[in-house]
């Protein structure tokens, strides 16, 4: 038995059987940072640009970047329909910032004709923070995450203005940024949420070196895969 396992492991088959493969949508955005974060959290990571690549992953990350560009490229690369179908079918997906916009059922502040993939019963306001606090960092306590508040980096970020009953709110904007700026009307806005197998953050944990969000996503993908 042990010999068999060792033989399989040597061929890579045993490892492949227990290693979760997570894709990062690689059309635009901070693909490299998410790849590093997921690898830091112990996953095998592959870029996804084609339908066949999408079909081979156990979970998918939609990176930060520019949601309008990703929307266009998803159509050009003929990934939009398969991805909508995969989400409907229960593929675990984590979206950060532009990725969160893509997961929202509804957006405000989108450009003419901008579409999302949807799946999460939320309304997301694009570029919600306004020019004064365009980019900032805040320490966010996050529901269900141990180890203290999460340093959250916001870059022309969206927020969630409305969340349906099936959506679990994981984090809201505090009163002040880490630098001490008052965050005004942003305070209290929802910036992290989960719904079924979908996870979304308005901020970018992939750039901080704190891999807790990615690690949690990898655990969820593992649990889904085994169930
Ligand atoms: N950092 C980001 O991902 C910014 C999102 C961007 N403002 C958008 O609308 O898509």
Percentage of residues in the chain with pLDDT exceeding 70? 90
CA-CA distances (angstroms) from residue 225 to 35, 65, 218?
20, 28, 10
What is the average per-residue pLDDT within 53-71? 98
Q: Give domain status of residue 173, yes or no.
A: yes
pLDDT of residue 132: 63
Q: Give domain status of residue 8, yes or no.
A: no
Q: Where residue 129 falls among pLDDT bands split at 50, 70, 90?
A: confident
Cα–Cα nearest to 93, from 222, 203, 221, 226: 221
Integer distance in angstroms from the first to the last C-alpha of the chain?
A: 25
To 10 degrees, the CA torsion angle through 100, 105, 111, 114?
A: 100
Q: Give domain status of residue 154, yes or no.
A: yes
Q: Give domain status of residue 34, yes or no.
A: yes
From 34-38, 117-121, 210-214, 223-227, the region with the lowest mean pLDDT: 223-227
What is the average per-residue pLDDT within 161-177? 96
Active-site annotation holds for 168:
no
Q: Are the C-beta atoms of residues 136 and 181 closer than 8 Å to each other?
A: yes
- Cα angle at 193 between 184 and 160, to 5 degrees? 40
User: Which ligand 1 atom sits closest to the C-alpha of 30?
Assistant: 3
Active-site annotation holds for 84:
no
Q: Which domain holds residue 163?
A: 21-226
CATH number, domain containing residue 34: 3.40.50.880
User: Mind listing the pLDDT tens digit for each residue in 82-92?
Assistant: 999 999 999 99
Distance 191 CA to ligand 1 centre (A): 13
Q: Is the pLDDT of residue 37 over 60?
A: yes
Q: Is the pLDDT of residue 151 over 90?
A: yes
Cα–Cα nearest to 23, from 6, 55, 48, 49: 48
Q: Which of 185, 206, 214, 220 is catalytic?
A: 206
Q: Where residue 13 falls among pLDDT bands split at 50, 70, 90?
A: very low
Q: How many domains does the chain have?
A: 1
User: Which ligand 1 atom sits closest to the C-alpha of 70?
Assistant: 10
Active-site annotation holds for 204:
yes
Q: Give domain status of residue 149, yes or no.
A: yes
What is the average per-residue pLDDT within 124-135? 85
Q: Give domain status of residue 12, yes or no.
A: no
pLDDT of residue 226: 58
> Is the C-alpha dihedral spanning 213, 216, 222, 224 positive or negative?
negative
Q: Give domain status of residue 72, yes or no.
A: yes
User: Which ligand 1 atom sits closest to the C-alpha of 154?
Assistant: 1
Q: Where are the beta strands (DSSP E) in the chain?
A: 21-25, 44-48, 59-62, 93-96, 104-108, 120-125, 135-140, 150-155, 159-163, 168-172, 190-195, 198-201
Distance 137 CA to ligand 1 centre (A): 15
Enumerate residues lining ligand 1, CB below 6 A.
64-67, 97-98, 101, 126-127, 155-156
What is the average per-residue pLDDT within 26-38? 98
Q: Are the C-beta atoms of residues 103 and 93 closer than 8 Å to each other?
A: yes
pLDDT of residue 5: 45
| Predicted TM-score (pTM) of this structure | 0.91
Distance 64 CA to ligand 1 centre (A): 6
Q: Give domain status of residue 11, yes or no.
A: no
- The single residue listed with the structure tokens 């003929």 is 78
């Amino acid at each position: 038995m042990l010999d068999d396992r060792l033989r399989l492991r040597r061929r890579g088959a045993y490892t492949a059987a227990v290693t979760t493969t997570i894709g990062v949508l690689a059309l635009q955005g901070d693909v490299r940072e998410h790849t590093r974060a997921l690898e830091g959290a112990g996953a095998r990571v592959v870029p996804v640009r084609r339908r066949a690549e999408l079909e081979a992953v156990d979970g998918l990350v939609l990176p930060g970047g520019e949601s309008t560009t990703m929307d266009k490229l998803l159509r050009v690369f003929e990934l939009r329909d398969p991805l909508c179908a995969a989400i409907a079918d229960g593929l675990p997906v984590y979206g950060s910032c532009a990725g969160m916009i893509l997961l929202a059922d509804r957006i405000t502040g989108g450009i003419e004709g901008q579409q999302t993939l949807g799946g999460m019963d939320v309304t997301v306001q694009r570029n919600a923070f306004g020019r004064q606090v365009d980019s900032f960092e805040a320490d966010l306590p996050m529901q269900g995450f141990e180890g203290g508040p999460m340093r959250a980096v916001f870059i022309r970020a969206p927020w969630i203005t409305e969340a349906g009953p099936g959506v679990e709110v994981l984090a809201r904007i505090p009163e002040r940024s880490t630098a001490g700026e008052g965050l005004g009307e942003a305070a209290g806005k929802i910036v992290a949420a989960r719904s079924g197998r979908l996870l979304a953050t308005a901020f970018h944990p992939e750039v901080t070196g704190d891999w807790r969000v990615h690690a949690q996503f990898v655990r969820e993908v593992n649990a889904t895969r085994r169930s």
